[in-house]
Structure 1
Amino acid sequence: MKDLAFLIADVWMIFVGYYFGLKLIRGYGNYLLGIEWMIVATSGSNFLLWSLLGGDTDSVLYDFAYFFDAFSRSVGITLILILGLMAVTHRYKPTVAVDIGVFGLAVAGGIYLRQFHDGTLHIVPATFYVVANLLTALFLMYFTKRLWGIGSKQLAAWTVVVTVAASTVAITYDFFPLPFDDENRTIFYTAALATWGAQGFIYYVAYRAMHNHNMAAVGTNEEPSATIRTS
């Protein structure tokens, strides 16, 4: 039963990442969020394949799993998420150089930080992950306020729920392993995958709501938000 729940949670996250990632790119031209969503889905696909093939820790898929994990926890669902959402909060339009730069930073972070996934608590990287998550959560609270301000109160509430859930996962991940979990942390990863999938879905719907509000505001000559340009 636990294994089935894990598979469902992983497939859910994979679907959300690929489906809504593609919609973010095709529908809104947001490559930061779209590519990151699909990287999360690719991470889930790799994790699923690794699990189905027996979960061998000597497999290259195991190495890829922790690279993707470090990629998103360090820069992907932190800095890239913030910059991507700023498209609808501040009409931020990153240059190609910025897009390449932040993903390059995420790759570097993934390559460097994956070495610390060895079953031992490494205080510095573990603390970094939590701090990065909580700083991102602060921006997401601002994003929630903006949602509330345009009348999307239910969506704002769901944004708070998934953000708090994701922060709980981030804090639990390294510092508080569940004492009743198995050696593969099946229960934890099931909850984490389900939460990350919910994040991808809710943040997409919230992004769409903000985008639609901004477009309507432009149509009525209102100023939807400040504009930040990059050179």
Structure 2
Amino acid sequence: MKELLLMLADLWMIFAGFFYGWKLIRRYDNYLLGLEWFIIATSGSNFLVWSLLGGDMGSPMYAIAYFFDAFSRSVGVSLILVMGLMRVTHRYKPTKAVDVGVFALGIVAGLYLRQFHGHGLHVVPATFYVVVNALSTLFLAYFSWRLWKIRARGLAVAAALTTAAAAAIAVTYDFFPIPGDDEYGTIFYILALSTWGTQGFVYFLSYRALHDHNAATGAEPAPDERSVARA
């Protein structure tokens, strides 16, 4: 049953990442968020295939999983997420050079930090992950407040709860193993994958609500108007 729940949670994260990532790129031209959602979904796909092939810890897919994990925990669901959401909170649109640069930073961070996985607790990188998550959580609290301010009360609550769940996952990840969990952390990963997939879903809906509000108040063009302008 636990293995089935783990697979379902992973499939949910994969779906949310690819589906809503594509919508963010296609409809809103937001490559920062869209590509990060793709990275999360690709990470989940890699994990799913690795598990179905037997879960060999000597497989290159195992090392790739750690890279994706380090990428998203250090830069992806922190700096890239915040910069992407600032599109609807502050009308911030980085240049292509900045887009490339921040993903390059994520790659470097992922390649460096992956060495600290699977060898017991490494306090410094583990603390770093928690700190960057805490900083992101502060912005996401503001993001939820912006939703509340435009009277998207349901989404504001959903975003706040999802953010709180993700922050709890980030703290639990290295420092507080779930009592009674197995050596592979199956219960933890069921909760984590479910939460990360829900982040992709809820943050997309929240982004759309703020974008539509901005378009209605003239703060930015509607998606169809932008498409005509590009044509």
TM-score, structure 1 as length reference: 0.94
- Superposed, 1:26-105 pairs within 5 Å as 26-105=26-105
1:142-221 matches, cutoff 5 A: 142-218=142-218
Structure 2 unmatched runs, 5+: 221-231
Residue deviations 1:167-213 (CA, integer Å, cap 9, x gap): 00000000011121111111100110000000000000000000000
**Residues 143-190 of structure 1: per-residue CA shift (max 9 Å, x gap):** 111100000011000001000000000000000111211111111001
Q: Which consecutive segments of 4 or more residues in structure 1 shift more than 4 A?
A: none
Structure 1: segments with no counterpart, 5+ residues = 221-231
Equivalent-residue separation in structure 2 for 1:180 and 1:132 (angstroms)? 28
User: Aligned equivalents of 1:219 and 1:56: distance in 2?
Assistant: 51
Q: CA deviation at 1:131?
A: 0.4
Paired residue secondary structure (2:218)? helix
Task: Determine helix, strand or coil for the equivalent of 1:218.
Answer: coil
Q: What is the alpha-carbon distance in structure 1 between the residues aligned to residue 129 and residue 23 of structure 2?
A: 28
Output the TM-score relative to the length of structure 2. 0.94
Aligned to 1:141: 141
Deviations 1:9-53 (A, max 9, x none): 000000000000000000000000000000000000001111111
- RMSD of aligned Cα (Å): 1.0
Verify: 1:112 aligned to 2:112, yes or no. yes
CA drift of 1:119 comes to 3.5
User: Aligned letter for 2:163?
Assistant: T
Q: Distance in 2 between matches of 1:145 and 1:114?
A: 34
Q: Between Structure 1 and Structure 2, how many residues are aligned?
A: 220
